[in-house]
Amino acid sequence: MKKITFLLSAFLCGTLLVNAQTKEGKISYEQKVNMHRMITDPEMRARVPEFRTDKFEIIFNEQASLYRTVVDDEAPDPFANNGGDRGGQRFMMRMPETSTYTDINAQMQYESRAMFEKSFLIVDSLKSYKWKISDETKTIAKHVCKKATTMIPAPQQMRLRFGNGPRTAEDSVKTDKPKESLLTVWYTDDIPVSVGPGTYAGLPGAILEVDTDNGANVITATEVTTKYPKKELVQPSKGEKMNRAQFQDAMKKIMEDFQKGGGMGGMRIRMN
């Protein structure tokens, strides 16, 4: 009789554990980008906060997810405590608004981006990553997460500096940059849906943190809730339609035209 009671209790506990898993809801994220790692000009560094912070969220169910920018009009001034006394022109850099819809069953993504007054709709298959899962764990947004790593192509870098004058030797030098960067993510089995920020997915649970290139770009979940606006989980349709490769070519051309036009207020941008 005791054995039967024990087995029944174990079964009920297991059932409750499965039912406690979140299969739809909303995850709020905060992204921190280290701006000083891409700025070589000392004067430019003095006028730009070391970190740029943006907010994102993902709403999801077992069939689809939508990762999008959260506009924060009340964000604090990053210069308030560490840059207000430097004088001169200061620069605020914000990520353009974006939304990425993932059809989990079809393994397709639809990304809407607005860049330099142009709208793009990037349609392509979901990226595949060769994840290496470790036994290391940590808690993020009250959820125990497991660590997974992979190598990805090194992100395209921008060299930023001031000046309208002629190009210097620094503008012409070519640096030996790594071809790959380390990507570290933390995912949780508590949310058994393969979703994550942007194009990152392919794990047996939701990704709650993404660390690109050892702190260069970190996206961390701050809150997980089962409540979400179901009617807003829709596929974007506006913008010039293209695949990822075509979008990269379009961005390269836009930046080249931007540079030829003198940049922005004397600020030069060079893609490495």
pLDDT tens string 209-248: 999 999 999 999 999 999 999 999 999 999 999 999 999 8
Mean pLDDT of the chain, nearest integer: 80
Distance CA(135)–CA(148), nearest Å, equals: 9
Q: Are strands 118-125 and 240-242 parallel, antiparallel or unpaired?
A: parallel
CB 42 within 8 A of CB 33: no
pTM above the 0.75 mark? yes
Nearest C-alpha neighbor of 219 from the set 85, 81, 42, 67: 67
Distance CA(34)–CA(149), nearest Å, equals: 20
Higher-confidence residue of 39 and 231: namely 231
pLDDT band per the 50, 70, 90 thresholds, residue 116: confident
CB 207 within 8 A of CB 190: no
What share of the chain has pLDDT > 90, as a percent?
Answer: 54
Structure-derived torsion over alpha carbons of residues 232, 237, 239, 241, reported in degrees to the nearest 10 = 140
In eight-state DSSP terms, residue 178 is -
Six token digits for residue 163: 């000046």
Residue 73: predicted pLDDT: 64
Residue 269: predicted pLDDT: 45
Q: Which residue has the tokens 């036994």?
A: 135
In eight-state DSSP terms, residue 35 is G
Distance CA(244)–CA(242), nearest Å, equals: 7
